[in-house]
Amino acid sequence: MSTGAPARVVLGVAGGIAAYKAAILLRLLAERHHCDVRVVPTAAALEFVGEVTWAALSGHPVATDVWQQAHEVPHVRLGQAADLVVVAPATADLLARAAHGLADDLLTSTLLTARCPVLMAPAMHTEMWEHPATQANVAVLRARGVVVLDPAHGRLTGADSGPGRLPEPEEIAAAAAALLPRRGDLAGRRIVVSAGGTREPLDPVRFLGNRSSGRQGYALAATAAARGADVVLVSANVEAPDPAGVRVVPVGTAEELRCAVLAACEGDGDGRADVVVMAAAVADFRPAAVAGDKIKKSHGPGAEDAAPTIELVRTPDVLAELVRTGAAEVVVGFAAETGDAEGTVMEHARDKLARKGCQLLVVNDVSGDRVFGREQTEVTVLDADGGVRALPAGSKTEVADSIWDVALNWSMRTREDRPAG
């Protein structure tokens, strides 16, 4: 979290055996994300974890029903004052009551009065999760803007196993952090992020592509929006829900991405975004010609080893063009590198930073499938002044926030200490 008053989080705990994991979540929210957490357990939740535990971990008295401190009107005030409401575990019963707008206890009353983001992490037996009634309730909540995580697969109560397990506290905390307000440290800034991997068609059914999932770019867009920025996300072939509060521009090829990023940087015509982050994996080459029909295998005697020769040409260097044209105050490049006989990962990355001319370069060591498709990641940020900063390993959301901290600091230096132009 950025400096300033801590975010105010209400942690609702429903009555399931997974309630004990909410204690770990509470510690993560308070210590890792520096939140001021108030716990609202249901009566059933207190059968699993007692009031004293919640009070000791949160540092606040625990409100358990609408009759306590009635003069403070807790069933209204808690929701009104919250920056985020997290419910973990969210049982089938809690999901049903929330979907139908019931206010029969302090937690459901808080949900009705909250005007902040709401995150729910379901936990229940597989049959309960898969029941049409539960699925309909989840659909209703999601349609209202509630973020409902899918439960994890794994061991449930007793010998049962399947979907319905509470996601791990670290995963819930990361999802919560993405929804937390960052006290506006990026407010008023226009940010452009590219994500995913471009695809260059060979024929109507084939293309040259890469293994980028787009998750890091999507995490960068989501966290920037949560911190108050006006964000445009240029998305190249990513299969993921659009981040909340972000304008998404879908593209396919490198040329389409180039045009969309440049247009987004121009915005209303001032020709300059505050920050552009090129997290997308843009193809370096494309076929010189695209076949109008599917390229067929050769058949007949001696044709078993025959294969067409594909001529390739270079695609536009979008990152270098953004720097050359001054499309943004701060240009952040990405480098997915492996070491080879000609140099180490960092040597290749420093060479790229020098060639491209961007202010910051985020370096991924992708040797041995270390990054692609993984939930956890680890990056190093190089800057144009020769600085090197290894960011703490974590989820893509946590790493995205760390990248924004570095970019924001560089942007402030640019505005305060560097000559114009």
- Answering whether pTM is above 0.85, one says no
Q: Please say if the pLDDT value at position 74 is more than 60.
A: no
pLDDT of residue 341: 85
Architecture of domain 8-179: 3-Layer(aba) Sandwich (3.40)
Chain position carrying tokens 């040797």: 367
Confidence category of residue 270, pLDDT binned at 50, 70, 90: low
List the helix and strand counts (H, then E) for the chain: 13, 21
pLDDT, one tens digit per residue, over 91-128 is 999 999 999 999 999 999 999 999 889 999 999 999 99
Widest Cα–Cα separation across the chain = 91
The whole-angstrom separation of Cα 148 and Cα 3 is 28
Tokens describing residue 214: 């787009």
Fill in the amino acid letter for 46: L
Confidence category of residue 155, pLDDT binned at 50, 70, 90: confident
- Which whole-number Å values give the CA distances from 338 to 230, 292, 370, in the listed order? 34, 36, 10
Architecture of domain 190-417: 3-Layer(aba) Sandwich (3.40)
Confidence category of residue 180, pLDDT binned at 50, 70, 90: confident
Q: Is 320 exposed, middle or buried (0-12, 13-18, 19+ CB in 10 A)?
A: middle
Fold agreement between 8-179 and 190-417: yes
The whole-angstrom separation of Cα 54 and Cα 38 is 9
Q: Please say if the pLDDT value at position 2 is more than 60.
A: no
The whole-angstrom separation of Cα 197 and Cα 200 is 10
pLDDT of residue 419: 47
Chain position carrying tokens 């997915």: 336
* Count of residues making up the chain: 421
pLDDT of residue 421: 43
- Which whole-number Å values give the CA distances from 134 to 96, 127, 139, 140, in the listed order? 7, 10, 9, 10
- Which whole-number Å values give the CA distances from 269 to 255, 263, 265, 327, in the listed order? 21, 9, 9, 11
Q: How far is CA 102 from the centre of its chain?
A: 31
Q: Is the peptide bond before 204 cis (omega within 30 degrees of 0)?
A: no
Q: Which residue would you say has higher pLDDT here, 368 or 137?
A: 137
pLDDT of residue 411: 82
CA 25, 28, 33, 38: dihedral to nearest 10 degrees? 50
258: left (phi over 0), alpha (psi -120 to 50) or beta: alpha
Average pLDDT, the chain: 87
The whole-angstrom separation of Cα 278 and Cα 251 is 14
Listed by start position, the domains of the chain span 8-179, 190-417
pLDDT, one tens digit per residue, over 362-384 is 998 887 665 555 667 889 999 99
Q: Are strands 247-251 and 230-236 parallel, antiparallel or unpaired?
A: parallel
Options 210, 237, 364, 409, the catalytic residue: 210
Confidence category of residue 395, pLDDT binned at 50, 70, 90: confident
137: left (phi over 0), alpha (psi -120 to 50) or beta: alpha
Mean pLDDT value across residues 251-268: 93
The whole-angstrom separation of Cα 114 and Cα 9 is 11
pLDDT of residue 334: 95
The whole-angstrom separation of Cα 12 and Cα 54 is 11
Q: CB of 364 within 8 A of CB of 337?
A: yes
3-state DSSP call for residue 411? Answer: helix
Confidence category of residue 85, pLDDT binned at 50, 70, 90: very high
Tokens describing residue 333: 């490049």
- Buried b or exposed e, range 340-373, using 16+ CB within 10 angstroms: eeeeebbebbbebbeebebbbbbbbbeeeeebbe
Active-site annotation holds for 364: no
- Which whole-number Å values give the CA distances from 143 to 82, 188, 201, 380, in the listed order? 21, 28, 36, 38
pLDDT, one tens digit per residue, over 20-73 is 999 999 999 988 788 899 999 999 999 999 999 999 999 999 977 665 555 454
